[in-house]
Amino acid sequence: MEVLWTVPLLLLIPLLMWTSSTFVFYFKKCFYVAYMMCLALLAIPLCVLKSGGRDVENMRIIRSLVRHVKYFLGLRFEVSGWEHLQTEGPYVIISNHQSSLDVLGLMEILPDRCTMIAKKELVYAGTVGLVCWLGGIVFINRKKTSDAKSVMTDAAKTMLDEQIRLWVFPEGTRNQRGDLLPFKKGAFHLAVQAQVPVIPIVFSSYSNFYLRKEKQFNSGNSSGLCSCFNVFLCVRRSSHAEVLSLLRRHQIEDPPKDRHEGDDVRRHHIPLRQILQRDALGLLEHLQLRNPEQRADAALNTNH
């Protein structure tokens, strides 16, 4: 009897997938969450066997397990500026944050010995929370500024002692409006304390295929892209010369005259947080203005 009920149910699912965008949205979201929890369950013993416990090297295992998830959701990634991540030593990565789908893009380009800073609530997310802890993710309490500052100070020391990289979402929350929220200071205090470079990464807007409020989560064809969408990621390292160029571009006050050309830009009095936010917004606008035909050509030539 139970089998008889199962057959029409299995037939109903593809029908709803074809006719109801709202059903597709919830089906994909539920699948994504459930599948990630299953992958986390698989990753936990692998991480323990490899490192014996909490270790940033476990992110290699997590990265390899998660990278294929994009195919189930009909997503594809194009990466520009990959070479800026091939840098030795620690650095801070900052990027915009649109949804939980950012994890897929993050894992697509996550460099070795790199982990993230995440909200403390994530540690309680079942198997996902445990595997995040095993991967060395730094958890902060966003509601207690003093605790967050203490964690950032410890993170800066860990970056230098263990030569790790940290990925931070400086907006502090998810934002799908197509622009950037004001950056929080934490990521930049971290970079200053550790005296390490900052690398901005921009995810292009998901609005072509994912709209949370409108309950749309598509994986169809767009801009001639072989039945999948492209999520563009643009990577840029903030060198001294580049920041000087940004100063001129945005007509911000130049650095003090007594600074030498080779001085570390982090010691300038210019608010690096504002400069990088403007630069990241510029990258985002550049990606949004890309010609659809150019996107399609680039997508066909990429290996990602």
Q: What is the token pair recorded at 72?
A: 């189930």
* pLDDT tens figures, 63-110: 999 999 999 998 888 877 777 788 889 998 888 888 899 999 899 889
* Per-domain residue ranges of the chain: 2-301
- Tell me, what's the pLDDT at 227? 28
pLDDT at 224: 24
241's CB contacts (< 8 A; 6+ apart) are none
Task: Give residue 186's pLDDT band: very low, low, confident or very high (50, 70, 90).
Answer: confident
pLDDT of residue 170: 86
CATH T-level fold of 2-301: Glycerol-3-phosphate (1)-acyltransferase (3.40.1130)
112-124 per-position pLDDT tens digit: 999 999 999 999 9
CB 304, CB 78: distance < 8 Å? yes
The answer on pLDDT for 134 being more than 70 is: yes
> Edge-to-edge strands of the sheet including 75-80?
75-80, 229-235, 198-203, 92-95, 165-168, 114-119, 138-140
Across the range 246-275, mean pLDDT stands at 40
Number of Cβ within 10 Å of residue 16's Cβ equals: 13
8-44 pLDDT per residue, tens: 767 777 777 788 889 999 999 999 999 999 999 999 9
Higher-confidence position of 296 and 126: 126
